[in-house]
Homo-oligomer: A and B are copies of this chain.
Amino acid sequence: MTLLACWLNGQPIQCLSPLERGFAYGDGLFSTLRVEQAQVPLLDLHWQRLWIGCQRLQLNTDDFAQWQQDFLQFVAQFPQAMAKIIVTRGEGGRGYLPDPQQKTHCYFYAYPLNLHPVANQTGIKTDVLQGRLGINPTLAGLKHVNRLEQVLLRQELALTAYPEGIVLDYFGHVTEGVFSNMFIVRDGQLWTPRLELAGVAGIMREHLCQLAPQLGYAVTEATLGIDDIVNADEAFFCNSVYGIWPIRQIGQHSKADNPITQHLQQQLYYV
C-alpha cells in the first residue's frame, strides 16, 4: 500500500531513526482512523483510548494537546485517507530501559482510503481460527504495537475464504476477530467478550456500548464461549473502519434474521 505521508511530532519525515524504540521493542500504541472529507468519526474516542494507553504504559503525554492540534492540520492536508496515529517512547535508552529525558514521539501516517467490500455489510461467513491469543492482563485491551499475534492470525485467516475469523484466547474463550471486536444478540440484549485478559478495546466497540443502550438495548461484557456465539440470535464483527459485519454463518451453523444488528448498522451514520 502506498504511503501518502508520514509526520513525526507535526513535521513531515522521510524515514525513521534507527534508534526508534517502536522498532526495537514495539514500545508504543497506535490507532487506525477513517478520514473522509476531512472528517474523522469518533475521533474523541481514538484520543481517549490513546490517552488511557499512555497512562497504562507510562508514556509521557505533555504534548498530547499539541498532537491533537497537529492531527487536525494533517487531516486537512489528507482529507480522504486511512490514517494511523502511532505514539512511541521515542529513541534510545539503554536496552529495555528508556531514557527518562526522551520525549514521546507521535507519528501520523496517511494511506489511500481502501475500504473493504461493501457486500460484507449484508453479512459474512466465518469460523473459529486455530491460533489463540495469549493471556496478558498487563497489556490486554491496549492497541499497542506488539502485534505479532495478529500478524500470525491474519496469515492464518488469509488461508481461509473468510473476511474475518473468530479468535479464542488460551483458555478457549471467545475474544474478538483478527482485526475486529464481536457482539452477540440474545433476547433483545447485546453481549460482548470481556477484554481483561486479551484482545483490543476497539473504538467501534466502545461506541456501540454507548449507542446501543440509547437505542434500547442493554450491553453486557461477559466471558463467552463459542457455543454462545453459535446459539445467539444474532452476531456481528465490528470495527471503526468498516462499521458492522453481520455474521450469517459460523462453520456449518447458519443464522436467521438479524433486526437488531441492522438497526445498529442504520444508526452508524458514516459507514
Interface residue ranges, A against B (CB under 8 Å): 1, 3, 6, 13-27, 30, 32, 57-58, 86, 89, 92-98, 107, 109, 114, 131-132, 134-139, 144-155, 158, 170, 178-179
Contacts and interface: CB of A to CB of B under 8 A. Distances in A.
A134 B136 contact: yes
Contacts of A158: 97
Contact of A25 (B1, B15, B26, B136): B26
B26 A3 contact: no
A181 to B, nearest CB: 15
Contacts of A19: 3
Contacts of A131: 138
B18 A152 contact: no
Contacts of A26: 25-26, 145-148
Nearest to A32: B95
Nearest to A30: B24
B25 A147 contact: yes
B18 A20 contact: no
A23 B23 contact: yes
B16 A98 contact: no
Contacts of A22: 23
B146 A95 contact: no
A161 to B, nearest CB: 15
Given A135-B136, A138-B132, A154-B96, A18 B145 contact: no
